[in-house]
Amino acid sequence: MQYDFDKIIDRSNSNAAKYDERFKKFERDDLIPLWIADMDFETAQPIIDAIKKRADQGIYGYTSRPTSYYESICEWQKRHHNWDIDPKQMSFAPGIVPALSELVREFTEPGDYVLIQTPVYPEFYDVIEAWDGRKVLENQLFEQGGYYTMDFADLEEKLKMRPKLFLFCSPHNPVGRVWKKKELKAMTDLCIRFDVPIVSDEIHSDFLLWGNEHIPTATISKEVASRTISCISSTKTFNLAGLQAASVVFPNKEWKHRFDSFWGALDIHRNNCFSLVAVEAACRYGDEWLKQLIAYLQENMLFVREFCRTEIPEIKVNLPESTYLLWIDCRGLGLDRQALWRFMIEEAKIGLNNGNDFCRSLDGFMRMNVACSRNVLKSAMQQLKEAVVRLRIW
């Protein structure tokens, strides 16, 4: 089946956070929303069919998870990332962020450091700071010509401070890196040396652009697997975040039991009836949609990069290796932190994520979500260009 990613669907007033929370986020709602990591595309037809079929039954009672659910996720991971997961190692969580938060709560004490590599998904800061006395330890990524790599010397210094946990983002949001084996090896060697467990958030691992290959952290070696907790989910890949279902893969029974006990105490351990059928349909029948989606996202990214190169050279765009998010370098606009934020909202009228949220000490960057129809993106870039033209005259 040929999917039409150009199709524009009116999502306003449909309780889509990306649209209906614009006023809360930007203090106006006439912006083109290119912020929260949510796509404006209809999901794969087999998923829609599975949800409709489930809805048609008309009974939405407590939902039991069949073994085929985790099996379908394991088969997806094997097929796409050559990762063998034993379903017995897997736990349910209502999302990756809730899972990360619980892992920080469970595996650290007040006063402990938790390591992150910034700039990074802002919730990494939040889930650490949410818990009494936990402290963020930052290993900043190293940027050269828009390409980010790990600063291993600094990583070693930070690991010497004995963080209790490392929240690792792979592939990386927002810089778009798909970490190479050599990098994963060097990073995990250091974690082993300093005995720091890794929580590997792999939610973006299916967005593999330009032929990049994702290597799950837990597949680096047996030793790495024994200290890695992996967080995976089909909800980002297939735009199902509203259904709330993620999986966490544990290396041992004890850690899994600690995690499960927490959710058990809250009585949160079941899928809802729609996520159950949607995730399984995605994992079994979603490959073709994903293939077409990636081709479309690549074109969107090339369009934005070329547009900036020719029309707005003050803004530099590097192509990511994964995600549908562009980490755009706006330092050439010469605006300070607050002015850049206001400029995008009030002049360009586009809703982007503020780069400071991803690294509090870094200015001049914004994150742009390009998972929308090309025509919407064209309008957004035109508005941005016109705003920059006015700025040049000031």
Ligand X SMILES: Cc1ncc(COP(=O)(O)O)c(C=O)c1O
Least distance CB 164 / ligand X (angstroms)? 20
Q: Which is nearer to ligand X, 101 or 108 (CB)?
A: 101
Q: Give me the residue label for tokens 């509090």.
A: 360
Torsion region of 113: left, alpha or beta (phi above 0 gives left; psi -120 to 50 gives alpha): beta
| Amino acid occupying residue 290 | L
97 forms part of the interface with ligand X (CB under 6 A) = yes
For residue 211, the SS3 value is helix
235 forms part of the interface with ligand X (CB under 6 A) = yes
Q: Which is nearer to ligand X, 99 or 387 (CB)?
A: 99
Cβ partners under 8 Å of residue 215, min gap 6: 81, 179, 180, 181, 184
Cβ partners under 8 Å of residue 355, min gap 6: 119, 174, 327, 330, 362, 363, 364, 365, 366, 367
Least distance CB 189 / ligand X (angstroms)? 23
The stretch among 60-68, 90-98, 138-146, 311-319 that binds ligand X (CB under 6 A) is: 90-98
Report the residue from 34, 50, 74, 96 that binds ligand X according to the rule CB under 6 A.
Answer: 96
Please count the residues of the chain. 394
For residue 28, the SS3 value is coil
Residue of this chain nearest to ligand X (CB atom): 95
Task: Name the E strands within 152-286.
Answer: 165-169, 198-201, 228-232, 246-249
203 forms part of the interface with ligand X (CB under 6 A) = yes
Least distance CB 123 / ligand X (angstroms)? 6
Q: Give me the residue label for tokens 């590599």.
A: 117
Least distance CB 231 / ligand X (angstroms)? 7
Return the sign of the alpha-carbon dihedral for residues 271, 207, 315, 374: negative
| Nearest CA-CA partner of 201 in 336, 93, 288 | 93
Report the residue from 47, 50, 103, 169 that binds ligand X according to the rule CB under 6 A.
Answer: 169
233 forms part of the interface with ligand X (CB under 6 A) = yes
Q: Which is nearer to ligand X, 246 or 350 (CB)?
A: 246
DSSP letter (8 states) at residue 210: G
Give buried/exposed letters for 181-207 (b at 16+ CB in 10 A, else e). eebbeebbebbbebebbbbbbbbbbbb
Cβ 38 vs Cβ 241: under 8 Å: yes
Laid out side by side, the sheet with 353-354 consists of 325-329, 365-369, 353-354
173 forms part of the interface with ligand X (CB under 6 A) = yes
118 forms part of the interface with ligand X (CB under 6 A) = no
95 forms part of the interface with ligand X (CB under 6 A) = yes
125 forms part of the interface with ligand X (CB under 6 A) = no
167 forms part of the interface with ligand X (CB under 6 A) = no
The stretch among 13-21, 65-73, 91-99, 307-315 that binds ligand X (CB under 6 A) is: 91-99
Report the residue from 5, 35, 83, 121 that binds ligand X according to the rule CB under 6 A.
Answer: 121
Q: Which is nearer to ligand X, 201 or 333 (CB)?
A: 201
Q: Which is nearer to ligand X, 72 or 233 (CB)?
A: 233
Q: Which is nearer to ligand X, 72 or 335 (CB)?
A: 72
34 forms part of the interface with ligand X (CB under 6 A) = no
DSSP letter (8 states) at residue 172: P
Q: Which is nearer to ligand X, 167 or 224 (CB)?
A: 167
Least distance CB 17 / ligand X (angstroms)? 11
280 forms part of the interface with ligand X (CB under 6 A) = no
Report the residue from 201, 206, 280, 321 that binds ligand X according to the rule CB under 6 A.
Answer: 201
Task: Name the E strands within the chain.
Answer: 32-33, 90-93, 113-116, 135-138, 142-144, 147-149, 165-169, 198-201, 228-232, 246-249, 325-329, 350-351, 353-354, 365-369
**Total residues at the site for ligand X (CB under 6 A)?**
13
Report the residue from 187, 241, 273, 279 that binds ligand X according to the rule CB under 6 A.
Answer: 241
246 forms part of the interface with ligand X (CB under 6 A) = yes
- Positions touching ligand X (CB under 6 A) are 37, 95-97, 121, 169, 173, 201, 203, 233, 235, 241, 246
